[in-house]
């Protein structure tokens, strides 16, 4: 695997750490087991909770026979709808930070069953094994009702997604006469693109350890989450606690991919048990129970394209129907990406929801875009063939320099360079255009390509910096590190801003006692936390300069902050670097034990109004298909990404590698099968929910295209966590068509669909 690294833009402050490939500072702790996850905090004398899941999909509980289970020595309590309402203040009006519209699910608050594997009871016992056994023999009787979990039956029952959900951008209004232009065009294509439900399946399963501190209601809550502060807000609101009474800690997260954006029900159950029993309690979910909340929704998409004789789009239509639950309106931005990427004088976009008896879907890596990009990018490939134009050239013919949907210029867009650099690295010019025209012995060879686009945003974030007399800097923010390298990037930004060695900087994350930070998601963390760290270290630098100027015969007297630089453990004058003061001397002379600053960063609202801000990528894929067996091997991928300034090419490359692997997985393997007769996911385990292993992944070449953007945020960062996945599934499907001549429009692309 190889990479191309863009040269970072010049930064005024600091030693040059940003833009350098730096290994993770928490790496050793993770590989040696020193890094603790939510279910690994063994607090003194803790008890264990085991969740009982509903075997039915819709209906109500008519009877719970708790007495025999409670009689077992060591079983402490059974929580159910019969005793929970008096313990928690959970009302239907409360929403967590990332909740969709509607009424959130309330665990154990009512006898009604709304989805299969709904938590219906929590058994608490002295040991995990005892809790699990007791839960297995708890007898619950149900009254079943008819349910519907089949999106195919809802094709005519879709309703427009309600406006007002945070993060949901309604489709652009129609432009021109899309249907009329389609009917008159010389070249046209119409196709339906489908993927079933998909589940996140991170390695670390959801767990919450609540330590009862024995002082009133004070709790220390170790939770698996992507947002410690979001969980704290949720817990405080539901149980009427103050922030001091509910400290949430999440130092490490073993994968989440969006499943940890919302507080999951094990957190509610663990806190509930700890408060009622006045005892430390841990609740862990099983792998099967990981399929009981949140998923990428089953979605049906129709794309209609038409071009003139030269290959210019004349009509662009994209429609999607996605599932949601009976109690919330989960929405994704699915169809809009088509209008952002390609120019057409006539377009029409529609996005609808259909209610099913399932738990609410949940954001899953590149939510909406992974779904939408698969459809539009496969359709663009099909349209290119019908128009007689090379798929890469077809995208360049319909390239747009501005965002047509918002009629705004992009803050930056180097997608054209992604096309050219990616194609050159891949060898796209060696592609023979006819399907089934390339072979490697007995294998059919196919080349395919596709494009991705993702929002580049930042959130309001705060940070703190503290410098001690020994020259050691500690920077902190409540943000989580979900495996993306946030600890490392924070350290790099802080070290560069104050000119300190990397080994003299420590980053602290994942604790609600730290400064305000949003959930980690959306590819905004590096931009948000990084900008907050930079601003905070600059504020600390201003304090240091003032202290330095108070020294006798200070060479820095009279200089403004803009006139100095921080580098090599010194504060130096820009015009004459021999005029400098060691930072350690400043603190020693001041008599202060430490110097601290707290500040933050937030997006510029004027720039948000004036510009469209996105990252882009172009993906090129080679597949080899066994003509007799139908097996597909993705043998080469080139993923060229333009994502602004790359703070750490090593961790950024890892993000793109992970996204690329997931795109291959989406294309060839991932689907959650539901038996609609029972409303139950049938392959709710890692034996039958297929994801790639090492043998499935071959050469992946990551190319970072140089891109400067001084509009988007102070660091010029766009984020790479989501965009690296986009376009991959479509490029695989397009390559399979080129290899075999068979077009598959429903994912995953399995052997039976090719034979």
103 pLDDT tier (thresholds 50, 70, 90):
confident
Q: Which pLDDT tens digit goes with each residue over 138-148? A: 999 999 999 99
Q: Which residues form the catalytic set?
A: 722
- Residues 195-218 have a mean pLDDT of 94
- HEC string of 116-161 equals CCCEEEEEEECCHHHHHHHHHHCEEEEEECCCCCCHHHHCCCCEEC
DSSP label at 205? P
Q: Which residues pair with 601 in a beta bridge?
A: 461
pLDDT digits (tens, 9 = 90+) for 275-293: 999 999 999 999 999 999 9
What is the distance between the alpha carbons of residues 145 and 638, in angstroms, rounded to a whole number?
A: 51
pLDDT of residue 102: 86
Which helix (H) or strand (E) segment is 69 a member of?
helix 67-70
Cα–Cα nearest to 658, from 731, 572, 728, 718: 728
Does residue 726 sit in helix, strand or coil? coil
> Helix (H, G, I), strand (E, B), or coil: what is residue 447?
strand
Go through the domains of the chain in sequence order and give each one's CATH number.
14-28+460-602 (3.30.365.10), 381-457+604-755 (3.30.365.10)
Q: What is the pLDDT of residue 97?
A: 79
Instruction: Say if residue 22's pLDDT is above 60.
Output: yes
pLDDT at 164: 58
Residue with tokens 């094994």: 129
Confidence bin at 309 (pLDDT 50/70/90): very high
Least confident among 35-44, 50-59, 211-220, 393-402: 211-220
Which helix (H) or strand (E) element contains residue 315? strand 313-324
* Each residue's pLDDT tens digit, 26-51: 999 999 999 999 999 999 999 999 99
Any idea what the Cα angle at residue 190 is, between residues 185 and 195, rounded to 5°? 155
- Dihedral in degrees, nearest 10, Cα atoms 82, 86, 91, 94: -120
Q: Which residues pair with 286 in a beta bridge?
A: none
Alpha-carbon distance of 697 to 694, in angstroms, equals 6
- Please give the average per-residue pLDDT across 663-668, as a whole number: 98
Looking at 98-102, 353-357, 683-687, which range is the least confident one?
98-102
- pLDDT classification of 2: cutoffs 50, 70, 90: very low
Q: What confidence score (pLDDT) does residue 166 get?
A: 57
* Lowest pLDDT segment from 8-22, 312-326, 540-554: 8-22
CA–CA separation, 420 and 656 (whole Å) = 19
Dist. CA 138–CA 115, nearest whole Å: 20
Contact predicate 662/723, CB 8 Å: no
What does the pLDDT read at residue 525? 95
User: What does the DSSP assignment read for 6-44?
Assistant: PPPPP-SSSSS-TTS----TTHHHHHHT-S--GGG---T
Alpha carbon distance 559, 562 (integer Å): 8
- Buried b / exposed e over 386-398, threshold 16 CB at 10 Å, is ebebbbbebbebb
- Output b/e per residue, 229-256; b: 16+ Cβ within 10 A: bbbbbbbbebbebeeebbbbbbbbbbbb
Average pLDDT, the chain: 94
What is the DSSP code (8-state) at residue 555?
A: T
- Say whether pLDDT at 14 is over 60: no
Specify the DSSP element, H or E, that contains 570.
strand 570-573
Average pLDDT score over residue span 302-322: 98
| Helix (H/G/I), strand (E/B), else coil: 237 | helix
3-state secondary structure labels for all residues of 456-482: CCCCCEEEEEEEECCCCEEEECCCCCC
Q: What is the distance between the alpha carbons of residues 509 and 486, in angstroms, rounded to a whole number?
A: 9
pLDDT digits (tens, 9 = 90+) for 229-250: 999 999 999 999 999 999 999 9
Tell me the C-alpha distance between 392 and 378, whole Å.
12
Residue 92 confidence class, pLDDT cut points 50, 70, 90? low
Phi and psi for 387 in degrees, rounded to 5? -85, -5
């Amino acid at each position: 695997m190889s990479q191309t690294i863009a040269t970072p833009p010049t930064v005024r402050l600091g030693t040059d750490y940003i833009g350098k490939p730096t290994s993770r500072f928490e790496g050793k702790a993770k590989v040696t087991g020193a890094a603790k996850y939510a279910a690994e905090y063994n607090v003194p004398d803790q008890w264990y909770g085991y969740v009982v899941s509903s075997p039915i999909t819709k209906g109500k509980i008519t009877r719970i026979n708790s007495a025999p289970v409670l009689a077992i020595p060591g079983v402490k309590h059974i929580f159910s709808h019969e005793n929970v309402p008096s313990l928690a203040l959970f009302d239907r009006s409360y929403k967590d930070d990332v909740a969709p519209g509607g009424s959130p699910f309330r665990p154990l608050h009512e006898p009604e069953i709304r989805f299969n594997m709904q938590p219906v009871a929590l058994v608490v016992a002295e040991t995990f094994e005892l809790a699990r056994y007791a839960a297995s023999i708890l007898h619950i009787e149900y009254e079943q009702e008819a349910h519907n979990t089949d999106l195919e039956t809802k094709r005519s029952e879709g309703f427009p997604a309600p406006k007002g959900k945070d993060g949901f951008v309604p489709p652009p209004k129609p432009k021109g006469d899309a249907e009329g232009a389609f009917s008159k065009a010389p070249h046209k294509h119409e196709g339906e693109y489908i993927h079933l439900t998909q589940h996140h399946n991170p390695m670390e399963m959801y767990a919450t350890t609540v330590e009862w501190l024995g002082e009133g209601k004070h709790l220390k809550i170790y939770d698996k989450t992507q947002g410690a502060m979001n969980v704290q807000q949720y817990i405080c609101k539901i149980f009427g606690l103050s922030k001091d009474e509910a400290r949430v800690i999440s130092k490490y997260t073993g994968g989440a991919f969006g499943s940890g954006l919302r507080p999951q029900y094990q957190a509610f159950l663990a806190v509930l048990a700890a408060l009622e029993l006045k005892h430390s309690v841990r609740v862990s979910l099983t792998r099967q129970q990981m399929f009981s909340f949140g998923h990428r929704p089953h979605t049906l998409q129709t794309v209609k394209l038409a071009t003139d004789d030269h290959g210019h789009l004349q009509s662009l239509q994209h429609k999607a129907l996605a599932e949601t639950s009976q109690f919330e309106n989960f929405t994704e931005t699915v169809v809009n990406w088509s209008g952002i990427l390609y120019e057409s004088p006539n377009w029409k976009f529609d996005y609808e929801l259909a209610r099913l008896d399932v738990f609410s879907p949940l954001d899953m890596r590149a939510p909406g875009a992974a779904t939408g990009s698969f459809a539009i990018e496969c359709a663009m490939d099909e349209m290119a063939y019908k128009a007689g134009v090379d798929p890469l050239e077809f995208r360049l013919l319909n390239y747009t320099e501005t965002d047509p949907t918002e009629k705004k210029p992009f803050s930056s867009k180097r997608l054209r360079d992604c096309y050219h650099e990616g194609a050159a690295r891949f060898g796209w010019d060696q592609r023979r255009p006819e399907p089934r025209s390339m072979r490697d012995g007995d294998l059919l060879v196919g080349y395919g390509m596709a494009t991705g686009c993702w929002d580049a945003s930042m959130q309001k974030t705060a940070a703190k910096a503290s410098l001690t007399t020994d020259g050691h800097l500690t920077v902190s923010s409540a943000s989580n590190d979900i495996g993306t390298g946030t600890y490392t990037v924070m350290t790099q930004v802080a070290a560069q801003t104050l000119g300190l060695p990397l080994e003299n900087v420590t980053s602290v994350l994942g604790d609600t006692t730290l400064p305000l930070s949003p959930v980690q998601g959306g590819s905004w963390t590096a931009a948000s936390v990084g900008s907050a760290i930079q601003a905070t270290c600059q504020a600390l630098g201003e304090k240091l300069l003032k202290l330095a100027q108070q020294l006798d015969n200070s060479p820095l007297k009279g200089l403004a902050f803009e006139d100095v630089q921080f580098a090599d453990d010194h504060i130096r004058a820009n015009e004459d670097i021999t005029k400098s003061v060691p930072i350690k001397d400043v603190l020693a002379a001041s008599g202060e034990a430490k110097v601290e600053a707290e500040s933050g960063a937030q997006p510029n609202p004027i720039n948000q109004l004036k510009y469209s801000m996105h990252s882009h990528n172009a993906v090129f894929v080679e597949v080899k298909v066994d003509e007799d067996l139908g097996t597909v091997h993705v043998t080469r991928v080139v993923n060229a990404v333009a994502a602004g300034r790359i703070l750490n090419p090593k961790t950024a490359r890892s993000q793109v590698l992970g996204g690329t692997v997931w795109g291959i997985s989406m294309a060839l393997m991932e689907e959650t099968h539901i038996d609609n007769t029972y409303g139950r996911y049938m392959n709710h385990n890692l034996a039958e929910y297929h994801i790639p292993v090492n043998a499935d992944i071959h050469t992946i070449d990551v190319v970072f295209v140089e891109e400067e953007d001084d509009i988007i945020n102070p660091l010029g960062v766009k984020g790479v966590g989501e965009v690296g996945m986009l376009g991959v599934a479509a490029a695989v499907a397009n390559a399979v068509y080129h290899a075999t001549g068979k077009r598959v429009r429903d994912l995953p692309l399995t052997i039976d669909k090719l034979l």
